Amino acid sequence: MICSVVGARPNFMKMAPVILELQRRGLPNLFVHTGQHYDAAMSTVFFDELGMPKPDIYLGVGSGSHAEQTACVMTAFEDVCTKHVPELVIVAGDVNSTLACALVAAKLHIPVAHLEAGLRSFDRTMPEEINRLLTDHISEILFTSEQQGNLNLRNEGIGQEKVFFVGNCMIDSLRTHLDAALSRTPWIHYQLAPGSYGLVTLHRPAVVDDPVKLDQLREVLCEIGQSVPLLFPIHPRTRKKVATLGKSWNPVKLVDPLGYLDFLGLMAKARIVLTDSGGIQEETTALGVPCATLRDNTERPSTVQVGTNKLAGTNPIGILSVARELLGSRNGVAQIPELWDGKASIRVVDVVQSWLAKASTG
């Protein structure tokens, strides 16, 4: 039996096509949701819209510090593993649940497969970077989404027999659901015209937890909003910090978190996206939508090398410069990175099936 684990919103889009492919082939799969994202708008709606089966087990760990959250997931997931004894645990991405479940499985001598392995920002102040590094080094199967990931793992001494370049499962979800997302015409609800608005997301603690940095971003986004209407679906953590700041965001329009389909539809028709999210860098590249990443680094270099993504940093002057450049250009030269073809999940399950067959014969 395989055990597949999700914990936070980005995991769902990566894992959904893999779970559905496992199901299609009739491979036994125990589906576990740790509950790291527990808000219905950040979690439950995604299961419905991605067509995922309901989780077999919901751990309900909720929020807390990194240590608290990781410890709670480990304690709860250990019970799952000792009771069900899976042959393989599949984890995705770089959230606390990813590392916690990988650690538990590895210490119980259950092999771990890491979906989206090898990504590196080379910035260890990011908790996600620590999660990525440690998960990769205790995994038996490493599924990479871009060539730089293969090189990173090779440079870290990980055996290449463990590494499988399969492409990007998040793009599988995007390609599957794009037509449905566009048919919802979510821009109409916000009185926006396709191709004439910007979309904003911010959630990383390094930015939103610092009142000075958050206020600087507020100011530059408000300035950009004078040129193009900006819609900001706001993460629950970010909303609390914004409320504490107590300043106007006009003309930026703050709205509640969106479901996957509405957000995808809005993103596909945006003139520009401003974000600190890793996954959105990938999705905008696949959609050919200009993206300004409000970070000094990225663990997804292919989105910059061949895609529509530009690193804008966190300095207001740099952000404004990149935003103006993207708004003033007509995109059309971006490419789709290798194997971002909507078939990554098929390649993942091919490897899993082959691995299970070999494991069963010793």
What is the pLDDT at residue 288?
95
Residues 4, 89: Cα–Cα separation, whole Å: 6
Q: Taking a C-beta distance cutoff of 8 angstroms, is the pair 285, 167 a contact?
A: no
215 C-beta neighbours (distance < 10 Å), count? 11
Number of helices followed by number of strands (H, E) in the chain: 16, 13
Instruction: Using alpha carbons only, give the angle 235, 170, 319 rounded to the nearest 5 degrees.
Output: 50
- To which residue do tokens 């990175």 refer? 337
The angle, 0 to 180 degrees and rounded to 10, between the axes of the packed helices 9-24 and 344-360 is 60
Query: Given a cut of 80, is residue 330 above it in pLDDT?
Result: no
Handedness of CA 266, 275, 95, 344 (dihedral sign): positive
Task: For the chain, give the mean pLDDT.
Answer: 94
Query: Given a cut of 70, is residue 331 above it in pLDDT?
Result: no
pLDDT tens figures, 183-225:
999 999 999 999 999 999 998 888 888 999 999 999 999 999 9
pLDDT tens figures, 130-184:
999 999 999 999 999 999 999 999 999 999 999 999 999 999 999 999 999 999 9
pLDDT tens figures, 304-324:
999 999 999 999 999 999 999
CATH 3.40.50.2000 in the chain is located at: 2-167+340-360, 175-328
Q: How confident is the model at residue 360 (pLDDT cuts 50, 70, 90)?
A: confident
CATH number of this structure's domain 2-167+340-360? 3.40.50.2000
pLDDT tens figures, 29-52:
999 999 876 565 556 777 889 998
Gyration radius (Cα) of the chain, Å? 20
Residues 6+ apart with CB under 8 A from 332: 288
Q: pLDDT over 70 for what percent of the chain?
A: 97
* 114: annotated active-site residue: no
Q: Taking a C-beta distance cutoff of 8 angstroms, is the pair 292, 272 a contact?
A: yes
Q: Which listed residue (66, 137, 203, 235) is catalytic? A: 203
CATH number of this structure's domain 175-328? 3.40.50.2000
What is the pLDDT at residue 43?
61
